[in-house]
Chain A
Amino acid sequence: MNPIKRYGVKKMHVPDGVLPLWVYILFLAISLPILGIAIRKVNKRFDDRLTPYMGVLAAVIFAAQFVNFPVPPSSGHLVGTTLLAVMLGPWAAMVIIALVLFVQALYGDGGLLAFGLNFFNMGVLGAILGWGIAFILFKGITKFLDEKASVLIAASVSAFITVVGAAFVLGLELLTIPGLGFEFVYIITGIHAVIALGEAVLTFVILLYFVKAKPKMIAFLKDSDTGRALNRDRTQEITPTLEEAR
């Protein structure tokens, strides 16, 4: 058994053939309709001038997930769903994570059958928890700090909590493997608590870049293009939302 498949680049997600087949099918049945809803929401709220930035963010997340940082004796990588959710809202975050997971599956990381389960953990849970927790924290922190500092703190703390929460759910899912006891849930959650610190730091650093360079891409901030897109009513006419950076 050699878990290290390639130099610096490893299989990071749940592969096919580990969990019982019904678990994979169940999560495909749950996740695919949610992905469909996410695509419809994006369709109604985002206009096509934001698309280059969607591509850029997908590439950033793919690259960030490509390389692991050491957490001896293990390692971890950025998930990035909270970062995306804070910037683009939960629906667009789900769609981008789905695209990233699909390409990773083509690279042999996480099976196509396991796509539903991986998408549920990182895309659905990550986006809903990440966005929800960050939003509550953001509203609270803005009473004491300015918007930009608040979004950085809220997103980082939320990223930490979300990764730990998703790892806990992953542990529960893995209990469907015969022979695994509940202590396994503690182990995998504990490992990811350390990895989540890395997630929080990376979320802070990447978001700091966007706060400085492209604050209009952060939905939580006032007057942001993505924020306007999220709040747009479906019946409203499309109006220009993206002012090109001068």
Chain B
Amino acid sequence: MDRNTFVRVIIPVIVLLTVVISVLIFTGLASENPDGFEWALFDWAGITEPEGGFEGIFAFLGSGPLVDAVTGGIGIIVILILAYLFFKFTSRRTE
């Protein structure tokens, strides 16, 4: 990736997505209702959600708007780099 693409495409996307997520979380616009899948499965059907297990790599940070905004921002950077590297190594080389 050349510097031009990085500056004009990648950085603005990271900043924009992180800002949007942070605003949604901090202003309380992100829904706190249970997800469609979970509401239906765990509440309506009365099935006990499996306790324990892997809670995620950031579970030790606890919960809260600040933690979610920060971990969300980290996730955006991670997925962007991961997808870039993955496609870089799996796509055809330009001659």
A residues sitting closer than 8 Å to B (CB atoms) are: 1, 3-18, 39, 42-60, 62-63, 66-77, 95-96, 99-100, 102-103, 106-109, 111-112, 167, 170, 174, 177, 179-180, 184, 187-188, 191-192, 195, 237-238, 240, 244-245
Docked pose: A170 CA to B40 CA in angstroms: 12
How many B residues, CB 8 Å from partner? 69
Give Cα A15 to B35, complex, Å: 13
Residues of A within 8 A of B53 (CB): 15-17, 111
| Chain B residue at minimal CB-CB distance from A6 | B63
CB distance from B86 to the nearest CB of A (A): 6
Partner of A3, one of B6, B42, B56, B94: B42
In-complex Cβ contact of A47 among B1, B42, B93 (8 A): B93
* Given A47-B94, A107-B57, also A52-B5 (CB < 8 A): yes
Considering the chains assembled together, what is the distance between the CA atoms of A99 and B84 in angstroms?
11
Question: Which residue of the partner chain, among A46, A56, A112, A245, contacts B80 with CB atoms under 8 Å?
Answer: A56
**A38 (CB) vs chain B CBs: closest residue:** B90
Option from B17, B36, B45 in Cβ contact (under 8 Å) with A180: B45
Known: A48-B93, A56-B80. 7 other contacts (CB 8 A): A11-B35, A18-B49, A66-B72, A99-B83, A180-B47, A238-B95, A244-B4
Residues of A within 8 A of B42 (CB): 1, 3
Determine how close the nearest CB of chain A comes to the CB of B34; give it in whole angstroms.
4
- Taking the closest CB of chain B, its distance from the CB of A171, in whole angstroms, is 9
A-B CB contact pairs (8 Å), 22 listed: A1-B49, A3-B49, A6-B68, A7-B25, A17-B50, A47-B91, A48-B88, A53-B9, A54-B86, A58-B82, A59-B77, A63-B17, A66-B72, A75-B39, A77-B35, A96-B83, A106-B57, A107-B56, A107-B58, A107-B71, A177-B47, A244-B5
